[in-house]
Amino acid sequence: MNTDQLRQEIIDYSKEIGIDKIGFASADVFAGLKDRLKRQQELGYQSGFEKGSIEERTEPGRLLPEAKSIISIALAYPSRMNDRPTNTKEERRGVFCRASWGVDYHQVLRDRLEKLADFIQEKFPEASTKVMVDTGELSDRAVAERAGIGFSGKNTSIITPEFGSYVYLGELITNVPFVPDTPLEDGCGSCTKCLDACPTGALVQGGQLNAQRCLAFLTQTKDFLPDEFRPKLGNFIYGFDTCQVVCPYNKHVDFHNHPEFEPEPDVAKPKLKPMLRISNREFKETFGHIAGSWRGKKPLQRNALLALGHYKDETAVDEMIAVMNNDPRPVIRGTAAWSLGKIGTEEAFAAIREAMDKETDEQVLTEMEKGLAFAETPAT
Ligand code: B12
Ligand code: SF4
């Protein structure tokens, strides 16, 4: 079989197995990205979640010898939740970003890519393949951009004309030399909605993100959240969506093509109070299958405490006091104290004062002082 015929068969097969968009790119070195990554590294703008050296991230031949092409795939995910649970005053809820709704996308895309790899190998036994989704060395976005899946938006996301930016990306490197697709033209024009809406100024300029200031990143850190970001999270407990929500390309976009990505309302928008006392086993059972659990329960619990503070949820005060007094983790005790101060009831302040007598951790004590300071200047 010649490669043009195989290319068409791959496209046809991709539709059968539920791939929403597929594109072909050369496996040439990503020279522009290499300079970009060096610059980002020098500026300290990376998240630390990126895998591999700059060479591995930009030279596909280092990952698969004889690499000739990369096949990029995109699967659309929903932007709206059917059966949205109500967020009541008595039972406040947090929210996971849309990219963490339903079953962990790594599994789903890997499954599709492995099917593609098997298909290619069956038709073309001399083919070699390597599949990647998110955790591989390559930039999934740079690959998708080169393969004509979408253009690279000022919010740094790959935006497809069909599904907006609400797509997951993955790729397959192969030694088969396919004819490449053509990249799309930039579609942002003079729009700056995402730059204007980013609450932390993390989008330094169109297409450049300081990940250290990005709330999507900050929800995933395990230490105390720096003060300046605490009031900006709202009820997001994992990831952040504002730079996508404001994008005109996402306005009327809501695809429910894959049952796997349908959010379970009580998981994607969980009640906040029960998250404070969740056991490891319950955590695994409830959240273990979603992408947002990969950092464990601590960052989510810290963010849940901040969300309760954000809501000034007086019904949570007793449970938060118990957390402040008993949790073995300083980040959790300290964040509980800060959020209790933010809620600002007499009971909350009295509990902080009492806890200060027993607390020995310096950082937690500092958070307690910050919590008490809300008594002088109440949180707005
Ligand atoms: C690290 C990481 C993060 C970090 C840093 C994000 C970032 N913008 O760099 C944090 C934790 C903040 C993050 C957040 C999110 N992430 Co993330 N993340 C990654 C990861 C693992 C690596 C990204 C990376 O290397 N970044 C370094 C930058 C420099 O490169 P890049 O963005 O990959 O590539 C672009 C730029 O380099 C740019 N570029 C290159 N040269 C030049 C030169 C100039 C002058 C300019 C202007 C631009 C430019 O073009 C490239 C293509 O668009 C990828 C998976 C992967 N292996 O690629 C997922 C990935 C990018 N994340 C993804 C998602 C869904 C998200 C979130 C939407 C999740 C959420 N809701 O919270 C947010 C979006 C925030 C944002 N605006 O980026 C998807 C993106 C899908 C899409 N449609 O674009 C990916 C591809 C995962 C996947 N496989 O689906 N993420
Ligand atoms: S909001 Fe506007 S500038 Fe930002 S990515 Fe979307 S179209 Fe581009």
Ligand nearest the Cα atom of residue 140: 1
Residue at 305 is within a domain: no
Residue type (1 letter), 20? D
Joined together, the tokens standing for residue 245 give 């929500």
Rounded to whole angstroms, what are the CA distances from 114 to 9, 17, 107, 109? 16, 11, 10, 8
Ligand 1 centre from 315 Cα, in Å?
A: 38
Residue 96 — φ and ψ, nearest 5°? -90, 145
What pLDDT is stored for residue 105 in this prediction?
A: 98
Count of domains observed in the chain: 1
What pLDDT is stored for residue 30 in this prediction?
A: 98
Domain range for 246: 1-271
Residue at 328 is within a domain: no
CB-based contacts of 271: which residues, under 8 Å, 6+ apart?
91, 92, 93
- Pocket, ligand 2, Cβ cutoff 6 A: 153-155, 188, 191-194, 246-249
Residue at 320 is within a domain: no
For the whole model, what pTM was predicted?
A: 0.97
From CA 257, how far away is CA 6, in angstroms rounded?
26
Residue at 356 is within a domain: no
Residue nearest to atom 10 of ligand 1 (CA): 217
Ligand 1 centre from 257 Cα, in Å?
A: 23
> Catalytic residue at 134?
yes
Residue 27 near residue 61, CB atoms below 8 Å: yes
- Pocket, ligand 1, Cβ cutoff 6 A: 32-33, 36-37, 40, 47, 49-50, 97, 99, 133-134, 136, 139-142, 145, 152, 155-158, 165, 167-170, 207-209, 211, 214, 216-217, 239-241, 243-244
Q: Tens-digit pLDDT profile for the chain (380 aa)?
A: 799 999 999 999 999 999 999 999 999 999 999 999 999 999 999 999 999 999 999 999 999 999 999 999 999 999 999 888 988 999 999 999 999 999 999 999 999 999 999 999 999 999 999 999 999 999 999 999 999 999 999 999 999 999 999 999 999 999 999 999 999 999 999 999 999 999 999 999 999 999 999 999 999 999 999 999 999 999 999 999 999 999 999 999 999 999 999 999 999 999 999 999 999 999 999 999 999 999 999 999 999 999 999 999 999 999 999 999 999 999 999 999 999 999 999 999 999 999 999 999 999 999 999 999 999 877 66
Residue 192 near residue 20, CB atoms below 8 Å: no
What pLDDT is stored for residue 111 in this prediction?
A: 98
Residue at 283 is within a domain: no
Joined together, the tokens standing for residue 268 give 């994607």
What pLDDT is stored for residue 127 in this prediction?
A: 97
Residue 257 near residue 277, CB atoms below 8 Å: no
Residue nearest to atom 2 of ligand 2 (CA): 191
| CA of 106, closest atom in ligand 1 | 89
Residue at 368 is within a domain: no
Residue 269 near residue 95, CB atoms below 8 Å: yes
Ligand nearest the Cα atom of residue 52: 1
Q: Which of 134, 140, 241, 313 is an active site residue? A: 134
Residue nearest to atom 8 of ligand 2 (CA): 188
Residue type (1 letter), 300? L
Enumerate long-range contacts of 289-292, CB under 8 Å, 24 or more apart.
289/103, 289/104, 290/96, 290/100, 290/101, 290/102, 290/103, 290/104, 291/99, 291/100, 291/104, 291/105, 291/106, 292/96, 292/97, 292/100, 292/237, 292/238, 292/239
Residue type (1 letter), 104? D
Residue at 317 is within a domain: no
- Convert 280-317 to b/e letters by CB count within 10 Å (16 or more is b): eeebeebbeebbbbbeebebbbbbbbbbbbbbbbeebb
Angle in degrees, CA 323, 327, 332, rounded to 5: 75
Residue nearest to atom 6 of ligand 2 (CA): 247
Ligand 2 centre from 251 Cα, in Å?
A: 11
Joined together, the tokens standing for residue 229 give 């970001």
